[in-house]
Amino acid sequence: MAHDGSPVAPGAAPGASAHPTSATGRGLAVRDVVVHYRDDDGTVATAVDGLSLDVAPGEVVALLGPSGSGKSSLLRAIAGLEPVSAGTIAWDGADVAGTPVHRRGFGLMFQDGQLFAHRDVAGNVAYGLEMARVPVAERRARVGELLTLVGLDGFERRDVASLSGGERQRVALARSLAPRPRLLLLDEPLSALDRALRERLAGDVRAALTATGTTAVFVTHDHDEAFAVADRIAVMDLGRLLQVAAPAELWHRPASRRVAEFLGYEAFVGGSSRVGGLVGASSEALLALGPGSLRREADGPLVGTVRSTGFRRGVTELVVDVEGLGEVTVVEPSRADPAGVPGAGEAVRLGVDDDAVARVAG
């Protein structure tokens, strides 16, 4: 199985080799890109507003942001499906502006798969190979190989209408990987699936991407998905990038309060303020507290009132109004015996888990 990631995409620039050692100038370079979005009623909005991003060969970058943040527009612009109003998009240093979609050698996987209903599973996976005029025998072997990779052995002759949602997305993934795109763009590929399936498939997608050494940009609005799939995460909002960082760094060192809020942090301690045992890190930095940052301690320094309690997948969540901080969620393992869990209105004392407190860069 040729998992070397070398692109055979149709019309791809020859000499685009597989695993360059250095990231400089290689891979995808997005520079100051502006994308306008024209609505059906003729109004124009700026979806991407002067954004720059680099993706090294073999790297998987997640574009994380709330809906409407311009993630999909950026992805479509990279694919060539959306015109770029300003800025450049380059691959290995070569501007792709003049290259039409079908010659870019970039794959794109849609949220809802967009499988060809008039072709069976094998016909769908083979489509890109047919366009690249890959010989039949080789095509068949590659289709089998890809179906094995996505866990759909023997599905070749199945009608795509008979597939479940998860199976369809697996076929869509196999289809976009088949021609060995030099870059794979994934547009919320798991959003339409239910939670359990989404979590399992996120792992499978990561495995498939690393096994094939595919360079990928993965758009999602779900942090867990981004953390599960990506080498680096780019947080996007209102058409701009707020932060690009490895998952752990992003989680522990969010670049701004906006990023921290988007990641789910609930309360902030800033400057020199002193709340309980917590001291603001410095005059500029901010401490961010989220679910898991506080735990109940009989002699903890913080005092709060329980507002509500909830139960979620093996954990009990207490929303506590902490004096001087505001509402913070306290998470603890749930017990079969609910006695001992404070009810709404009860006062609790809390301690701080230092490792679970993020330091927001000024």
Instruction: Give contact residues for other proteins (rule: CB under 8 A).
Output: 9-11, 38, 42, 79-83, 97-108, 110, 114, 116, 118, 127-128, 130-132, 175-176, 179, 181, 185
User: Least distance to other proteins from the beta carbon of 162, Å?
Assistant: 16
DSSP assignment of 164-232 equals -HHHHHHHHHHHHHTT--SEEEEESTTTTS-HHHHHHHHHHHHHHHHHTT--EEEEES-HHHHHHH-SE
Cβ nearer to other proteins, comparing 64 with 84: 84
Residue 76 to residue 98: CA distance in whole angstroms: 15
Cβ nearer to other proteins, comparing 172 with 318: 172
Q: How far from chain centre, in Å, is Cα 284?
A: 29
What ranges make up the beta strands (E) of the chain?
A: 28-38, 44-55, 60-64, 86-91, 94-95, 106-109, 183-187, 216-220, 232-237, 240-245, 267-270, 274-275, 278-279, 286-289, 294-296, 302-312, 315-322, 326-333, 347-352, 357-360
Cβ nearer to other proteins, comparing 119 with 258: 119
Cβ nearer to other proteins, comparing 41 with 299: 41
Cβ nearer to other proteins, comparing 42 with 333: 42
